Chains A and B, each alone.
Chain A
Amino acid sequence: MNETHKVIAIEVLRYRPELDEKPFFQTYQVPFTEEMSVLQGLLYIKDELDGTLSFRWSCRMAICGSCGAMIDGVPMLGCHTFLRDYYPNKVRVEPLAHFPIERDLVVGADDFIGKLERIKPYIVPKEPRTLAEGEYLQTPAQLERILQFSSCINCMLCYAACPQYGLDPAFIGPGVLALLHRYNADSRDAARADRMQLVNAEEGVWSCTAVGYCSEVCPKGVDPANAVNQNKTASAADYFLHWLPKGSGK
């Protein structure tokens, strides 16, 4: 590092369950350049200052979804947040809110993954089709209905933003509900009825209190709040249809 580099203080929440009784903050002085992300700052710490700091990362380009953290209190991807925007102040990095801390910046993702697995996140074909018959036709307009919701990178920032998930971890939560909506809205899929049972349940869409912070923090422009709301409408429609005599309303 040459002398023209500025130095920023990065304050990181540390917690090593085998050594520390409780989490504490540790501050590192990190020389940085204009283009350096918070993730690059953490990598500098890991390589040059303290090899014991643990965090997840991989792609460096905001697509693998590994490096989410609370950066100055806001859920962000470390690779997509830049040190220059915090300097000359310090920047504080903590694990994602609402998840159990496993160590340092690493949180337990089991709950999220379990929920993702529960919603049948795959196509249950409306009309089975052999490979020889080629692709299902899907118009650009039909694709448009699912494209945004299929862009979720599972980074879990929206869970860290969601006050309801913070209060009640049973809530399926924004990201997974967006994914559920992605499959329900797919012109090729037939499992909507099954998934709607989850949507209608206590921990489904009705847990959402429409704060909308989930959509604000999404780094990929997915709008989980919109998915949840569309499903509230669908869920309400299901509720009223339920009272109609059998055979009507179809």
Chain B
Amino acid sequence: MDVFKADVAIVGAGGAGLRAAIAVAEADPSLTVALISKVYPMRSHTVAAEGGSAGVVQANDSLQHHFDDTVTGGDWLCEQDTVDYFVAHCAEEMVQLEHWGCPWSRKDDGHVDIRAFGGMKIERTWFAADKTGFHMLHTLFQTSIKYPSIKRFDEHFCCDLIVDDGRCHGVLAIEIGTGEFRLIQAKAVIIATGGAGRVFRQNTNGGIVTGDGMALAYRYGVPLRDMEFIQYHPTCLPGSGLLITEACRGEGGIMVNKDGHRYLQDYGLGPADPWPRKKAMELGPRDRLCQAFWHEEQNGRTIATAQGQAVHLDLRHLGKEKLHQRLPQICEMAEAFLGVDPVYAPIPVRPAVHYTMGGILVDTKTASPLPGLYAAGECSSIGIHGANRLGSNSLAELCVFGKVAGSEAARFARSIAAANSTTIERQADAARQRAMNVVSRSKGSERISVLRNEMALSMERGCGIYRTGRDMQDTCDKIDELKLRYRDVEVGDKSSVWNTEWLLAIELGYLLDVAQAIVYSALNRKESRGAHQRLDGFDQRDDANYLKHSLAHYVDAGPPRIDYGPVAITRSQPGTRAYGAAGEQAERDRKRAGAAHE
């Protein structure tokens, strides 16, 4: 087997992986970085992020405001010390991207422009029109080219971790173009493989977002934390689930039901006017907006489209010039996929799965409990999103914690000697055999697409915007069943070159493990918090019993074991998440109380 020896191996070359690679290269150019990605880096799903990335810059904004929006938005399930670190480093990372050439949108005076996003008290979203993720990703990829110590393994599919003697020593990858295995030995490994939105049917994610890194770490005993918290994005295209950015509402877009009524005012987010205004109505948090849609649909006030029920996102009042300048991609997408020109007609939208708040358990420095293994970005749970992520925090997270992961992995790699190669190679051979077995053991009785579709439908039913114990139990049973049937999955393609059917089968294995962690974590959380909302008698937040992180532990040939870990609460005690007029009143009360103290 071909062996490559690196100091740091990074799996995934989206925003977090690239930022980590650059951080290693800048920390110590003598360290060799292996950057492994199943696609060319600029295809990574960071590319599809539209609206923007958070970073406090305005004089009337503060780190405290960003902290509060994040922790409140997360329904107090955030690691507050980590949130403090995060908000303090966002703007610096955005400036760093600017120095690297990111074409941020500008104000007339040449400074970077910012826009408002949902759940945000003051504008702090940096943006590059409505292609922010695209520009960040290409900037990072192109910048990474200037560092000779970064050795890329493009179109290499990571099929296993190499773990021995309680430490991670590298990864096993399949070169997709040849089907050859390559052992990438490393003193430290960073997982940066993104989320797992493809376990659901209607989602905003690309086909590659299959939870690979989450499943791999999980199988080696690293817990997946807070997996029940799945973010639905309120404005997606019916059917395909393609994303219509929150920036549409940040720019002043409104949402109406079939009667032309701005229904969000009926769900504690009003009053409707004056508009636009922060943290109210269409600029409420994502979980609340999705829940309101669900009720509207239940009450027959949504609009029937060929692709299912929808509401209208109306941008017409913004005018052609502003739409084309600030939301060009949205105009293009609406035209191409719906035949709708947003200048003249509203866009039908509905919620779809967008983001996995939970992920690989890591500490504030991105280290997982498995020595030598780090994680950053959507695949990780560093604790800044809690039960519901604040819009525009995820792009910032890629940079802030991608950099931390790179520096920490570099430090760790310098501190230890390489492991015994013979043992590592023996491990790699065993891993190779397991990957080959996916093809050779095949009894040919189960189709990949059938299992995948049954999983996605069942997850949507059991882990939707609102959940009940019965539905979640049904989904648990279904996923258990699918895992058994997966053993007989058919891979008809026996060739080596670009055997994507084989890779789909391995990905399906990842998806099923992650799906199982999600639904069992959900079933066990007997309260409602953030994106996890129950209708079966657990419809309130229960801080006494559930102000804690859930941890899903992998169990071989059985459902996961779920237990809980503490939440770091430093200075924001759980309170009411109030938006709209109620939120403004709560803010005034807080200020009055604060003034009384002084």
Contact = CB atoms under 8 A, between A and B. Distances in A.
Contacts of B129: 147
A147 B338 CA distance: 26
A41 interface: no
A61 interface: yes
A161 to B, nearest CB: 20
Contacts of B138: 150
Contacts of B108: 139-140
A154 interface: yes
A139 B103 CA distance: 11
A21 interface: no
Contacts of A188: 99, 101
Contact of B242 (A19, A60, A64, A143): A60
Given A35-B239, A122-B100, A138-B106, A58 B496 contact: no
B492 A150 contact: no
B95 A134 contact: yes
Interface in A54-111: 54-66, 80, 102-104, 106, 108-109
Interface residues of A, number: 62
Contacts of B448: 47, 51
Given A17-B497, A138-B110, A186 B101 contact: yes
Given A48-B449, A51-B492, A135 B501 contact: no
B101 A102 contact: no
Contacts of B500: 46, 54-55
Given A125-B99, A131-B99, A58 B493 contact: no
B106 A139 contact: yes
B278 interface: no
Interface stretch (B329-337, B351-359, B418-426): B329-337
Contact of B43 (A18, A58, A102, A139): A58
Contact of B134 (A54, A63, A116): A63
Interface stretch (B115-123, B140-148, B256-264, B391-399): B140-148
B306 A35 contact: yes
Contacts of B154: 113
Contacts of A18: 495-497
Contacts of A129: 99
Contacts of A142: 110
B404 interface: no
B40 interface: yes
Nearest to A59: B206
Contacts of A189: 101
B111 A64 contact: no
Interface in A1-60: 16-19, 33-35, 46-48, 51-52, 54-60
A217 to B, nearest CB: 15
Nearest to B96: A131
Interface residues on B, range: 35 or more
Nearest to B329: A63
B537 interface: no
Nearest to A140: B106
Contact of B145 (A35, A47, A48, A122): A122
A16 B98 CA distance: 44
A54 B39 contact: no
A16 B131 contact: no
A125 B329 CA distance: 30
A63 B92 contact: no
A150 B103 CA distance: 8
A135 B495 contact: no
**Residue of A55, A122, A143 most packed against chain B (CB within 10 A):** A122
A140 B432 CA distance: 53
B390 interface: no
A244 interface: no
Q: Summarize B's interface: helix, strand, loop or mixed.
A: loop
A163 interface: no
B240 interface: yes
Contacts of B105: 143
B497 A103 contact: yes
Interface string B204-226: 00111000000000000000000
A137 interface: yes
Contacts of A239: none
Contact of A109 (B40, B109, B112): B40
A106 B178 CA distance: 12
A171 interface: no
Nearest to A33: B306
A103 B495 CA distance: 11
B45 interface: yes
A120 interface: yes
B444 to A, nearest CB: 11
Contacts of B490: 51
A59 B110 contact: no
A67 to B, nearest CB: 10
B449 A63 contact: no
A120 B142 CA distance: 8
Interface string B471-509: 000000000000000000011110111111100100000
A63 B448 CA distance: 27
Contacts of B449: 46-48
A188 B102 CA distance: 11
A123 interface: yes
A165 interface: no
A194 interface: no
Nearest to B177: A102
B135 interface: yes
B493 A51 contact: yes
A113 B40 contact: yes
B498 A104 contact: yes
A84 B493 CA distance: 30
A58 B111 contact: no
Nearest to B48: A59
B341 to A, nearest CB: 16
B240 A35 contact: yes
A113 B39 CA distance: 13
Given A135-B98, A138-B106, 16 more contacts: A16-B497, A35-B338, A51-B491, A55-B500, A58-B208, A61-B333, A65-B43, A116-B145, A121-B142, A123-B101, A134-B95, A135-B104, A139-B106, A139-B110, A140-B108, A147-B129
13 contacts: A52-B495, A54-B500, A58-B39, A58-B45, A61-B242, A121-B142, A122-B101, A131-B95, A135-B104, A136-B99, A139-B106, A139-B108, A153-B134
The 8 closest A-B pairs by CB, nearest first: A137-B110, A47-B449, A58-B206, A103-B498, A121-B142, A123-B101, A59-B206, A135-B98
